[in-house]
Amino acid sequence: MRSDLQTTIANWRPDSDGDVGQQIDALLEQLLAAGLLRASACAVLLGEQYHLGGVEDTRRMAELVGVNGADRVVDLACYIGGPARHLAREYGCQVVGVDIFEDCIAIAEKLTELCGLTDRVRFICATADAVPEPDGSFTVAWSQGSFPSDLSWLTEMHRLLVPGGRIAFTGVIRRSESSDPSHCSLHEVQRRVTEAGFRVISAEDISDWELEHGWLPIRRKLEENEAHYRNLLGDEWVKKVYQSIDEDVAAWREGRLGSGRVVAVKE
């Protein structure tokens, strides 16, 4: 990890009287603005839950998969651990977050320590298709907003789960003839999940929900705080993010891009 990032996060302390979530968002803004954390331009608007729909999406998926205090969850592509901490805090489960980017893991570990969750949440820096944990280590394999279009992580999820273990993931799907052909349709995703040794419990097209609960709220957040972001990240950044959100909103509305959410059980 770079020493400038190390120093910034080592010295960071949330004020326990204030809203810790808001303070984490402010820390992330500072890291992203200083170029100490690499992420998409929209990352600053998403905070520690770096996927469309934020904590609401995490809650919905946790309810669908029935996360509970007996679960051992592996979160593939965990970023800085926002969803991992949420699952441990709300449901009392154990969570291992896995991310390929060591700076994300360093921040995840620091935030988890400051939130007092190190007894339930730990992190591993590794690629999601080769997690250095034994077969059958987990009861739930989880991933939000990062699943590769070739669905190759299904094999590793299957290996990591106990028999009867559950998977829950969201990812980009092909919704129409004009969609990027490298993505699978929701129907194809279900077929591939079944072929990988799982019984599908639910498979939903969540594109419209993501538009309402993801793209439109983050655009509003940008509009309402535009002066703050201009000051923090500059006019060019603001212009680029409006452009990028508007392109995605159009693609979502026209059915060129969208997302699916799948929950399944290992047979």
- Nearest-10 crossing angle of helices 235-253, 226-233: 120
CA distances from 90 to 63, 85, 86, 94, 231 (A): 11, 8, 6, 11, 35
Question: How far apart (Å, rounded) are the C-alpha atoms in residues 131 and 152?
Answer: 13
**Token pair for residue 6?**
């190390």
Instruction: Indicate the residue whose CB is closest to ligand SAM.
Output: 77
* Interaction of residue 218 with ligand SAM, rule CB under 6 A: no
* Interaction of residue 104 with ligand SAM, rule CB under 6 A: yes
Taking the complex as a whole, the smallest distance from the CB of residue 202 to ligand SAM amounts, in Å, to 19
Residues 70-99 that bind ligand SAM (CB under 6 A): 77-79, 82-83, 98-99
**Token pair for residue 70?**
């007996």
CA distances from 215 to 24, 103, 148 (A): 21, 26, 21
* Interaction of residue 47 with ligand SAM, rule CB under 6 A: no
Question: How far apart (Å, rounded) are the C-alpha atoms in residues 74 and 81?
Answer: 11
Of the pair 153, 229, the CB lying nearest ligand SAM is at 153
Of the pair 51, 159, the CB lying nearest ligand SAM is at 51
Taking the complex as a whole, the smallest distance from the CB of residue 17 to ligand SAM amounts, in Å, to 26
* Interaction of residue 260 with ligand SAM, rule CB under 6 A: no
Q: Long-range contacts for 234-237 (Cβ within 8 Å, ≥24 apart)? A: 237/41
Residues in contact with 78: Cβ distance below 8 Å, sequence separation at least 6, in sequence order: 84, 97, 98, 99, 104, 108, 123
Taking the complex as a whole, the smallest distance from the CB of residue 190 to ligand SAM amounts, in Å, to 21
Taking the complex as a whole, the smallest distance from the CB of residue 41 to ligand SAM amounts, in Å, to 12
Taking the complex as a whole, the smallest distance from the CB of residue 130 to ligand SAM amounts, in Å, to 9
* Interaction of residue 141 with ligand SAM, rule CB under 6 A: no
The number of residues that bind ligand SAM (CB under 6 A) is: 18
* Interaction of residue 146 with ligand SAM, rule CB under 6 A: yes
Contact residues: ligand SAM, CB under 6 A: 49-51, 77-79, 82-83, 98-101, 104, 127-128, 144-146
